[in-house]
Structure 1
């Protein structure tokens, strides 16, 4: 059967939903300026689709509750508006990861500080290429610093990894307690450690005295 609406007017596609994410760092600041900036740029967003959040920019985007709730609402075809790219992460790595996730969802991101450019457009992708390059540089620099720190620690004879819960003196006290008939659980409570740690001390001692 012929669908008249399709044949005469074409299939009507649903209008994309537009969201805004605005963030300030302290309660003494207001998100109103960002909302007005978005409206002045020609984006008219329903109040229920404006997600505001008061949280430090040093917090990773994955730990921002407001943004997490926003991600749960977004669907393919939606549009997300931010005033600045730093609203989408604490550094270049975080921003790059966030934009990548939004792109996978099929969400278009517009950044007013970049002239309102759609980050999925050719101009937007060029911008993201620069950001991704900076993010990769930051990753490489972090790895280099970590490796340098580990190398320096080894050269200074420092023990790497988690410190032992019980030093040698306390281990000897554990063995004395076991020899005096104290239970593993009682010793774990006394030394504020786990039963597994006490049993490991006991077992290591047993292995060391075997011929």
Structure 2
């Protein structure tokens, strides 16, 4: 049986295209979630798909980065699948199919490249932030709590819990604003 797994990183993204592609590829079941891909252990739908898979089944994804974002996670997930006698296939990278020796080699190479790209992206982002800070353009996130408003409400006799509810902030933030 083919078991599909679809994932997007944020709640604003849509899973429809991946789900349709997996069903078109013959997946009888599709597990989907909106969750960051950095840690496979945190992805409940992926864990459910792996639990549901039986020897001879194949887990199918649309793209390799939907399955794993680090080489370590990729190898751990593949070892788990192999231990259960479950194959792995990727639609976008047609050569990735752990039921064949060539597919296993292709997967190892692509996994290393994906990890390398993620590291480069993080490095470029850190360099950009450092340069912006040096040029005085990077100020960080703007304040989300108006300390003056918190103190004003507290001065009117409103409790910290009520202030937190009114302003949509945590009670700890209210106490922090009052102490500042």
Q: TM-score, normalised by structure 1?
A: 0.53
TM-superposed deviation, 1:104: 2.7
What's the secondary structure of 2:66's corresponding residue?
coil
Number of aligned pairs? 160
Rg: which structure is higher?
1
- Deviation, 1:63, is 5.6
Equivalent residues in 2 for 1:1-211 (5 A)? 19-22=1-4, 25=17, 31=23, 34-35=25-26, 51-53=28-30, 65=45, 68-74=47-53, 78-81=55-58, 86=62, 89-90=65-66, 93=69, 97-98=73-74, 100-105=76-81, 106=83, 107-109=85-87, 111=89, 113-114=94-95, 118=99, 121=101, 123-155=102-134, 156-160=136-140, 162-166=141-145, 170-204=146-180
Question: How far off its partner does 1:96 sit?
Answer: 7.6
Q: Please give the secondary structure, in 2, of the residue aligned with 1:164.
A: coil
Deviation of 1:71 after TM superposition, in Å, equals 0.9
Query: What root-mean-square deviation, in Å, do the aligned CA atoms of Structure 1 and Structure 2 show?
Result: 4.1
Cα distance in 1 for residues equivalent to 2:77 and 2:161: 48
Q: Distance in 2 between matches of 1:115 and 1:193?
A: 47
Deviations 1:95-153 (A, max 9, x none): 9835641323413426493396635x4x4442233112212221222211220232133
